[in-house]
Amino acid sequence: MLDALEVSNGIVAEFRRGTFVLAVLSRLESPQYGYSLLQILEDKEFPIDANTLYPLLRRLDKQGLLTSEWNTDEARPRKYYVLSPLGREVYENLKKEWAALAAQIQKILEV
């Protein structure tokens, strides 16, 4: 049998899952590669598992929100991602929508 903490953690994971895209987009106004993003987000106290981030980057690239480019000049080859024009537009939308959602939830929890 699961206790309250375990159950809560599972549901909190669902919260966070929904916000991964927003967090990632927020860090890609300047180019980053996967590993640097992992560290940046960890520093920002928003850690994402590598097994979640890498597939997410590929997906956002495929959806056209990011553009990607291999950099082979440096010692180690790195795949850099950055917001595409579409991605930038989507990101601006999402910021507004997030604020709206947060306000709605706040309202529901207050009563």
Contact residues: a second copy, CB under 8 A: 1-2, 4-5, 7-8, 11-12, 14-19, 21-23, 26-27, 44-46, 63-65, 86, 89-90, 93-95, 97-98, 101-102, 104-105, 107-109, 111
Q: Which does 19 bind (CB under 5 to 8 A by kind): a second copy, DNA, none?
A: a second copy
Q: Which is nearer to a second copy, 77 or 100 (CB)?
A: 100
Q: Which is nearer to a second copy, 75 or 111 (CB)?
A: 111
* Among 34, 86, 89, CA closest to 42: 34
Contact 83, 28 (CB under 8 A): yes
Distance of CA 19 to the CA centre of its chain: 6
Contact 60, 77 (CB under 8 A): no
Shortest Å, Cβ 44 to a second copy: 6
Strands (E), 1-111: 32-33, 66-71, 78-83
